[in-house]
Amino acid sequence: MASVAGPRNKKVLDFEIVLTPFIDLFSVCISFSLLTAVWIHLGSMDVKQAVGGQAAGESKNPPALWTKIDESGDLTLELRDAPKVAPKFAKSVIPGVAGKVNFEALASYVDSVKTLQPDLNTALIMPQAKTVYEDIITLMDKFKGSGLKDLGVSPL
Amino acid sequence: MFHRFKRGHKKMLNKSIISNTTMKSPLQGQSRLNPKGGSIKRAIMASLLLTSLVDAFSILVLYLLSSYSTSGEFMAISKNMILPAAANSVQLERTTIVRVDNGQFYVEDKATTADELTARLLEIRNLFNSKKDENFQPSLIVQADKKVTYDLVTQIVHAGAQAGYSEIKFAVLAER
């Protein structure tokens, strides 16, 4: 006997996702992440000893930018072993602004020098006794940002 | 009184146009205008919109997972110390930590005078050398407040050079 499928035999196709386990899982994940989250990201500015770090057998020094910071924020920049740069351009002074280092002028100077001497990758920083530590780090940061990867700092 | 009103209301709806249309409509009893329902019942149970809650949780989980650091915190920073910030910094790796706090030097959290810095650093270096630890790096992490002057920092640099630490890592706050 054939039976005609009526409305009673229809399967219910609609279904609901049970969200409660999802919420439980998310709550656990969030709690764990909040407890283990590192809110302060620390980094480091790696430098090498400026003077006396070179090997004795090294015959030719790489081009380097020697930077002296004064207490007034003045920067005295000197390019050494950079034959492609004209001697009058090799030494320059960037005066500080209101006792602070003029980092914008420094960035433009380094960019112009890098175009003349593309293999310039070394910068040596010579701070004074009363130079603020933050200024030294910012200077290193600007140098690294301009492509001077090998940094050195000289002791007093 | 209420039952009488209910009955009267039902009779009134049965005679109305709505009653005829809804009874014959394909919606049958599913319509909200179902006169069979009699009195209009207010839904007391409020349903929570869980989908939006799950969405918010998902965003929060993704944000927290993206900012998750696997390196962990190995360096404690005191409350009154503000590290300088730098955008081009590299990831900090665990080596010997020298801290300057209020003019006092600390080598691995042990208070040290400026004169003893070199000796203390040499001691640590010799300790690792005697253990033949291959993971030991001859580098120093300098942790100092951004307002300190270089005459304090240079003592660490100088002592490090004397003790054979060729690389100095200045701890900074990484800017993103």
Per-residue model confidence as pLDDT tens digits over A16-69 = 778 888 889 888 988 988 888 777 788 888 887 655 444 555 567 788 889 999
A23 and B88: CB-CB below 8 Å? no
Domain contains A145: yes
Print burial letters for B52-63: b (CB count within 10 Å at least 16), e (below 16).
Answer: eeeeebeeebee
Per the CB < 8 A criterion, the answer to whether B98 and B140 are in contact is yes
Per the CB < 8 A criterion, the answer to whether A50 and A152 are in contact is yes
Q: Are strands B167-174 and A42-49 parallel, antiparallel or unpaired?
A: antiparallel
Q: Which CATH number is B85-174's, of 3.40.640, 3.30.420, 3.30.450, 3.40.50? A: 3.30.420
State what percent of residues in chain A have pLDDT above 70: 87
Backbone angles phi, psi at A26, to 5 degrees: -65, -40
Print burial letters for A90-106: b (CB count within 10 Å at least 16), e (below 16).
Answer: beeebebeeeebbbeeb
Give the number of beta-carbon pairs within 8 Å between A and B: 153
Complex prediction ipTM: 0.74
Could you give the number of structural domains in chain A?
A: 1
Domain contains A23: no
pLDDT digits over B44-83, tens only? 666 667 788 888 888 988 888 887 766 656 777 888 889 9
Identity of the residue in B54, B73, B89 whose CB atom sits nearest the CB atom of A43:
B89
Per the CB < 8 A criterion, the answer to whether A42 and B174 are in contact is yes
Q: Cα B91 to chain center, whole Å?
A: 18
Give the per-residue pLDDT at B15: 53
Residue range B36-41: average pLDDT?
A: 54
Print burial letters for B134-156: b (CB count within 10 Å at least 16), e (below 16).
Answer: eeeebbbbbbbbbebbbebbbbb
Residue range B75-103: average pLDDT?
A: 87
Helices vs. strands in chain A: H and E counts, helices first: 4, 6
Domain enclosing residue A59, as ranges: 48-153
Residues 7-46 of A with CB under 8 A from B: 19, 22-23, 26-27, 29-30, 33-34, 36-38, 40-46
B64 and A33: CB-CB below 8 Å? yes
Domain contains A43: no
The amino acid occupying position B140 is L
B173 and A40: CB-CB below 8 Å? yes
Domain contains A104: yes
What band does A9 get if pLDDT is binned at 50, 70 and 90? low
Rounded CA-CA distance A141/A144 in Å is: 5
Q: What is the CATH number of the domain that holds A114?
A: 3.30.420.270
Rounded CA-CA distance B13/B19 in Å is: 6
Rounded CA-CA distance A53/B50 in Å is: 63
Domain parsing of chain B, residue ranges: 1-41, 85-174
Rounded CA-CA distance A63/B68 in Å is: 40
B147 and A144: CB-CB below 8 Å? no
Domain contains A36: no
CA-based radius of gyration for chain A: 31
What band does B8 get if pLDDT is binned at 50, 70 and 90? low
Per the CB < 8 A criterion, the answer to whether B99 and B106 are in contact is yes
Q: How many CB atoms neighbour CB B77 within 10 A?
A: 17
Instruction: Give the nearest chain A residue to B57 (CA atoms).
Output: A26
